[in-house]
Amino acid sequence: MIGATLLGLTGCGANIELQRDAGDLSGRLVESQFFLAFDDGSESNPDNIDGYLNLVWTNDEKREAVVAEQVDRLLKELQANGFKFVESKDESTVIANLRINSVRYDPVGGWITDDAAIAYVHTDSSEKLGTVIADEVWVTPTLEWVINALVEGSLELWGVSSPE
């Protein structure tokens, strides 16, 4: 009952932090071509001591499949909202550096992660445009919640949506 109460209080379970390094990006989405660079830190150690217990229930092959599925979902949701992804860095104008840390299985919460972030960087100038960080609030969020938060934060950062 306490877990359900905490999940209800945290909303999506993941805190979204936006860093607008290049100011307002509204209107720049149309001209941007994105390349996703994925730093898979899903096998990294948990941020907290109780996270090590979850590693007992974690199957590496399943973790890899779940992470790949969620990264694919992230791409599809961003594409459905106007993001254009290209196959190579050379074709891109913006590199979306995605990092996901310590994905592990929890028998109660499912697949959880300490945090994830997308840092958007201009391909030619290496100028940092902005970063979306999704991390825990009171409880360790599920990987699905964190991906939802990254999508929501990216849409907000690029001016596609506004905060609720």
Rounded to whole angstroms, how far apart are CA atoms 131 and 16?
10
- Yes or no: say if 121 and 97 are a contact pair by the CB < 8 Å rule: yes
pLDDT of residue 51: 65
Task: Output the CATH code of domain 2-157.
Answer: 3.30.160
pLDDT at 141: 87
Q: Which two tokens stand for residue 99?
A: 């990092």
Structural domain boundaries of the chain? 2-157
pLDDT at residue 115 in the model: 83
pLDDT digits (tens, 9 = 90+) for 45-74: 776 666 666 766 777 888 899 999 999 999
pTM: 0.85
State the residue for tokens 């997308």.
Answer: 118
Residues with pLDDT less than 50, the chain: 1-12
159 sits in the region (left: phi over 0; alpha: psi -120 to 50; else beta) called: left
Task: Quote the pLDDT of residue 56.
Answer: 66
**Cβ contacts of residue 2 below 8 Å, gap of 6+?**
none
